[in-house]
A = this chain, B = another copy of it.
Amino acid sequence: MSSIVPENNPSSAHKSSARDWIMKIFLHWGVMPFLLVIAVVTFSLMSSRFLTTDNLINLFRQSVYLVLVSLGQMLALISGGFDLSVGTIVAVSSVVSALTMGALALSFPDAIWLVITLGCLAGLGAAMLIGMVNGAGVAVFGVSPFIMTLGMQSIGFGIALFLTAGVPVSNLPDTLGDVFGFGVLLGVPVPILMMLLILALMFVLLNYSAWGRHLYAVGSNPKAALLSGIRVKPVLISAYVLCALIAGVSGLLLTARTASGDANLGGSMALESIAACVIGGVSLRGGIGRLENVVLGAIFIGLVQNGMNLAQIGSYLQIVVLGVLLIIAVVFDRIRQKRLYRL
């Protein structure tokens, strides 16, 4: 999708002042860059350990899970919907993969990689199933995405609890955690590599494939999309399935990291991922949203939490700060979208 320019292109041919530049950045990237700079400066002043390579890698690795889920959420939002069940998907994929690996490890104690692969596939399969149900409910039965995914969240959580009896599934192969949880390849943690891989795929999919463009069209105006020969229902369903798959990957990575399949994983993911998307300028009305900005948004949330933890800001205040930041980000985004789309 080509990027959009505002109506009164600043006639900056002759003199591109600093203000113009700021405006340009703001219109293209939103407030995120500014908030990031402010946050980084503030936290560096508050804690000398904030701006260390060590901590930054730490921060990125922590953010991987939210970034991934936010990417999935972004697909649902662009399509004009919501996915409140991402947290449940994380939990279900974690639980299913862990149970599968546990069972298989007994039968094939030597073929660790086979066990891991099959376990991951089972987890992803379960995630996909939830995504398909979500998508079918929204696209075929016309249930509002809010309710559909809220219902699925409840259903999935019940099932995950049932499967594990409430107790985390442990005794997973150590290799899983060693590689996908804490492994390092070429100096970069494996979870970050996985995230980069998925980011690259998603970037191509969204910007260089017909499917991506169709997704934007469906979210922007489903009727127009239909009249333009786009098969709206398959696009919608695949958006939810893809969202679920990405959330599932996040669930698998979390399983690897915590070395357990846990029905309580991902409890706050749904709202946090929506917050990350919205801070990143994704419209809740569909059709608008850029991958780069969402990644920034998710990392921003992680960064603020990390910074506040390092600066040893009390937990109560942290909760308040996050709420305030969310609102501020959206107020500015309103201003920006008014300029760009007159919405």
Contacts and interface: CB of A to CB of B under 8 A. Distances in A.
Interface in A209-225: none
15 contacts: A143-B327, A143-B330, A143-B331, A144-B278, A144-B284, A146-B274, A147-B275, A147-B278, A150-B326, A153-B323, A156-B323, A158-B320, A161-B315, A161-B319, A162-B317
Interface of A: 137, 141-144, 146-148, 150-159, 161-162, 166, 271, 274-275, 278, 284, 315-320, 322-324, 326-327, 330-331, 334
Given A147-B275, A275-B147, A330-B148, A319 B141 contact: no
Contact of A162 (B143, B156, B316): B316
Contact of A154 (B141, B322, B330): B322
A97 to B, nearest CB: 20
* Interface SS, A side: helix
A330 B144 CA distance: 8
Contact of A324 (B151, B271, B331): B151
Contacts of A141: 331, 334
A161 B323 CA distance: 14
Contact of A151 (B146, B148, B156, B323): B323
A334 B151 contact: no
B334 A150 contact: no
Contacts of A320: 154-155, 158-159, 162
A146 B317 contact: no
Nearest to A157: B319
B142 A334 contact: yes
A158 B316 CA distance: 5
Contacts of A157: 319
B331 A158 contact: no
Nearest to A275: B150
Given A141-B331, A154-B323, A162-B317, 16 more contacts: A141-B334, A143-B327, A146-B278, A146-B284, A147-B284, A147-B327, A151-B326, A151-B327, A152-B327, A153-B323, A154-B326, A155-B319, A155-B320, A159-B316, A161-B319, A162-B316
